[in-house]
Amino acid sequence: MDTKKNPLIGIIGGIGPYAGLDFLRKIFSNTRAVKDQDHINCILISCPSIIADRTEFLLNGERCNIENPARGMFESAQRLYRAGVEYAAVACNTAHSAPIFRPFSEMVQEYLPGFTVVNMLETCAAFVKESLNINHIGLLASKGTYKSRVYHEYFQEEEGAVLIEPEEQGREKIHEAIYSKQFGIKTYSQPVKPHAKNNIIYEIYRLVERGAQAVILGCTELPLAVDPRDFSVPILDPGLLTARRLITLAAPEKLL
């Protein structure tokens, strides 16, 4: 394969496995292709057994001596590197928190020359700043993401960004929409149950009522439940923005 002409895109998945799968599907479905051969060359690595729980690490890492997930993410990156990958992304929101993503990026920079990692949250923040030019941004996410405040690292108050999060009860409803064993998206995703969908739609409207000019779906499960076209404000999927960014880097003429 002429990797000059056909750069290889890599996805560090497994966190969780279905989020990685969904990320790869976004690359496929955003590629201009009428036959198999038109599609972009990609590799998805899904090695969840070597990557510790991200939220657990952020909340209890030091106290409970939990390994930094950065190590397993880096091992996944090494394997992609050996397979020939040039541009990669990590298919998980919480993994982008500084205590995880910073050491990961440092190891990549030191040991994997020419391996570019596109930061999903940075990509989302850049899109909001450059294309939307707004500063009140609603955020729907899992409890772990709120607690770890990972989005606050990328949308900084000093720069004028105001992140609007659901109130306590709303966070609970979103958490249930993702995790409930009865109707949550992690258990029922094809199709998503109406109960989960309604929880999310209601909380999007609540955020808009409270002044959100756009709403970020800050958990890889949420985009499975709602269609952004159904709302009057921009609904942002960081995974989708990053998939499109990877296509732009590897083969800009193929971006749909």
Q: Does residue 46 bind its own copies (CB under 8 A)?
A: yes
Cβ closer to its own copies: 193 or 206? 193
Residues 121-180 that bind its own copies (CB under 8 A): none
Identify which range of 21-29, 58-66, 94-102, 109-117 contacts its own copies by CB under 8 A: 21-29
Q: Does residue 229 bind its own copies (CB under 8 A)?
A: no
Written as one string, the DSSP assignment of 190-221 is: TTBPHHHHHHHHHHHHHHHHTT-SEEEE-STT
- As measured in angstroms, the least distance from the Cβ of 251 to its own copies is 10
Q: Does residue 249 bind its own copies (CB under 8 A)?
A: no
- As measured in angstroms, the least distance from the Cβ of 82 to its own copies is 5
Q: Does residue 64 bind its own copies (CB under 8 A)?
A: no
Identify which range of 13-21, 118-126, 167-175, 230-238 contacts its own copies by CB under 8 A: 13-21
- As measured in angstroms, the least distance from the Cβ of 45 to its own copies is 5
Task: Burial-class residue 101 by CB neighbours within 10 Å (0-12, 13-18, 19+).
Answer: buried
- As measured in angstroms, the least distance from the Cβ of 85 to its own copies is 9
Q: Are 130 and 208 in contact (CB under 8 A)?
A: no
Identify which range of 42-50, 129-137, 203-211, 214-222 contacts its own copies by CB under 8 A: 42-50
CA distance 248 to 254: 8
Among 48, 103, 170, 234, binds its own copies (CB under 8 A): 48
Among 30, 59, 64, 79, binds its own copies (CB under 8 A): 79
Those residues whose C-beta lies under 8 Å from the C-beta of residue 30, and which sit 6 or more positions away, are: 240, 243, 244, 247, 255, 256
- The β-bridge partners of 4 are none
